Amino acid sequence: MHWLYLLLAVGALLLAMNASDVWLVMLALLATLGFLALWARGWYLERIGESQRDESTMIDPVELRRLRELAEARRRAAATGASDAEPPQA
């Protein structure tokens, strides 16, 4: 929804162009600058900021090795359990 800031910036710029008081022109131009900054920040976060990895979800090598060993042990247990469940063929 960062595009709303861009619409507000355009509206504030139109207000600045049509205002007759100097203080209202300055206020509208400051609002335009602020809304443009907020729009740029929102655009940046949507494009680049959210694509960065969250380092807290990364797995260290020791934990990865432990998970691989656990998966291998489960595979072996499933393989031996499946071979035990089959009746011998005559």
Q: Note whether 31 and 14 are within 8 A (CB).
A: no
pLDDT at 80: 87
> What single-letter amino acid sits at 28?
A
Neighbours of 2 (CB within 10 A): 14
Sign of the torsion formed by the C-alpha atoms of 24, 28, 30 and 31: positive
DSSP 8-state class, residue 52:
S
Which whole number is the average pLDDT over 42-57? Answer: 76
- For residue 48, the model assigns a pLDDT of 84
**pTM (predicted TM-score):** 0.55
Per-residue pLDDT band at 18 (split at 50, 70, 90): very high
Percentage above 70 pLDDT, the chain: 83
Say how many C-beta atoms besides its own lie within 10 A of residue 12's C-beta.
Answer: 20
Q: Which pLDDT band holds residue 59 (cuts at 50, 70, 90)?
A: confident
Judge contact between 67 and 59, C-beta under 8 A.
Answer: yes
Q: How many CB atoms lie within 10 A of CB 50?
A: 8
